[in-house]
Every structure is written in C-alpha cells, then in structure tokens.
Amino acid sequence: MPSPPDSRLAGDLGDAISRLNSRLRRDVVEAGVSLARARTLATLDRDGARRLTDLALAEQVAQPTMSDLIGRLVADGLVKRTGDGSDGRTVLVSITAPGRRCLGRLIERRSESLERALNDLKAQDRVAIAAALPALARLLKTMEERNAVAALA
C-alpha cells in the first residue's frame, strides 16, 4: 500500500493527535482537575524541580499566572517551594508525594479510558497502534530537538 504524501500524512496525523488529546483532556477536567494543574504537575514529575520562570516558559504562560497557580498548588500540598542552594535568590518548585499521587490518579484515569477504547478495536488495529508507538516516540524526540536548537538560535 503506497504511503500518502508527507503533507497529507502530517495533516491526518495532526488531526488524529489533536482529537485524541482533546478527548483525553476532557477526562482530566471531568476528574475535577484543571488542565494547567495537571500539566504543571506532569512537568515537575517528569523534569524535576524547576525555577518558576522556567516552569512558566515550559507551560507557555505568563510568570504571574504561573506564580498564582503555584501558590494554589502549594496551598493544596501538591508542590513545594525551596531555595536553590547555589543561588539564594532563586526559588525552585518541586512536586510533593501528594502531588505525585494526584498525578498518578489522573494517569490511571487516562490509561483506563484508553484501555476501554482499545478493547473496542479489532486486534489488527491494536497491533497497528502498538507498532506505531516507537515511530511516534522518535517523531516527538525529533520535534523536541528541533525546538531546542531553534531556541538556542
């Protein structure tokens, strides 16, 4: 079977990812957690402690917006602020054990939603999705590397 032209593949892939992401985001909101909260917890869990300015940049929000969000997350015990040992003026934000548990529940909810949907598919569709995962991981890595290079330029 011939592969579609790259522009069509890019469009179709972008549409599928966007729609899937939108559906999974609804699961987060239905769990009673804002998308900003979930994304921030996920970033801190994946990347470790971050400066507030770096976190705002990573989440593509203004620093005052991130500061307000972090304040609420601190009040709820989901993240903590600590001083940076190398620079006393810098504050680092990190996820706490309760924050990890909250994120874990969201990830579990997402996995259960995906599992139910996957179980409704034919076996050949599940096999095709599984076979595509390594290529999708490489695609993401390539995009992240290009973005990092562009940010340095």
| Residue 89 banded pLDDT, cuts 50, 70, 90 | confident
Q: How far apart are CA 34 and CA 55, in angstroms?
A: 17
pLDDT of residue 131: 97
Percent of the chain with pLDDT strictly greater than 90: 74
Q: How far apart are CA 115 and CA 137, in angstroms?
A: 19
Domain residue spans in the chain? 17-120, 122-153
pLDDT of residue 144: 86
Q: The domain at 17-120 falls in which architecture?
A: Orthogonal Bundle (1.10)
Mean pLDDT of the chain: 90
Q: How far apart are CA 142 and CA 131, in angstroms?
A: 18
- With residue 3 as reference, give the H or E element that holds it: none
Q: How far apart are CA 45 and CA 96, in angstroms?
A: 9
Give mean pLDDT, residues 45-63: 93
| Residue 88 banded pLDDT, cuts 50, 70, 90 | low
pLDDT at position 49 over 80:
yes
pLDDT of residue 4: 58
| Residue 67 banded pLDDT, cuts 50, 70, 90 | very high
pLDDT of residue 6: 81
Compute the chain's Rg from CA coordinates: 19
pLDDT of residue 27: 87
pTM higher than the cut 0.95: no
pLDDT of residue 135: 95
Nearest-5° angle of CA 110, CA 116, CA 117?
90
Q: pLDDT tens digit string along 94-138? A: 999 999 999 999 999 999 999 999 999 999 999 999 999 999 999
